Structure 1
Amino acid sequence: MEASNLSSVATAFASKTYSGMDKSAVAKKAHEVAADFESVYVADAFKAMFKDVSVDPLSGKSDNSNEPWRDMLIDEYAKDFVNKGGIGIADGIAAQLIKIQEGHLG
């Protein structure tokens, strides 16, 4: 995941969209956004791990028609992984998003 992607997430979150919300609602939304970001990051890592694994382990043949389904399955694995604790980057990202929203960072 590129740093520019995180920068665009932070910029979008720092917009005035959340300015009228109370702090607990902003914190909840920040954690949701951070968890989504972490799941994309984890899914990219999982996809890299599975890139050379045959799509059909029974036949041993790789068929391109199954790859979109595998990518969707890996995305769901990543979401589940993050919901169960993930790799721990969502909390740090959420904290930074809250600081950005409050105007403490540029």
Structure 2
Amino acid sequence: MPSGAINSSMPAKAVMPMLNGRPDYALADALKKVSPHAQMKAKASAQDFESVFLNSMFSQMTSGIKGEGPFGDTPGTGVWRSMLTEEYSKSFAKAGGVGISNDVYRTLIMQQAGRAG
């Protein structure tokens, strides 16, 4: 096998989760107790939560804008603005957001692991 090639039959090395720049052993232990399907579901729920928060924040940021243009105060811009802020919030959350989803995900996993025993 050429140097630098990856052997696909070998399992990938598990990545240690980090919390504030340090290894998060509690989360690593909890992830062992929670199924991969439940982990994916928790990740999606955490990302959706952050998206809702960001949508609320972006809506407040643009609510007082007056004048012309896409964020102006014309009759059609209210609906357009709400759709735009919703898409912005989804995009921000998917790209990593402001970090809320990481904390929500950790909390969900820790709770599920606690229930699992």
What TM-score range do you get, normalising by the shorter chain?
0.5 to 0.7
| Number of equivalent positions | 82
Higher helix proportion: 1
Q: Which amino acid is 2:109 matched to?
A: I
Identity within the alignment, %:
32
Gaps of 5+ in 2: 1-33
1:18-44 per-position Cα deviation (integer Å, ceiling 9, x unaligned): xxxx61111111010000000110111
Which structure's CA Rg is the greater one?
Answer: 2
Q: Which has the higher contact order (CA 8 A, sep 6+)?
A: 1
Matched, 1:86 2:76: no
Gaps of 5+ in 1: 1-21
SS of the aligned residue for 2:76 comes to: helix
Matches within 5 A, 1:1-106: 23-54=35-66, 56-57=68-69, 62-103=73-114
* Distance in 1 between residues matched to 2:80 and 2:72, nearest whole Å: 16
Q: Which amino acid is 1:74 matched to?
A: T
| Normalised TM-score (structure 1) | 0.66
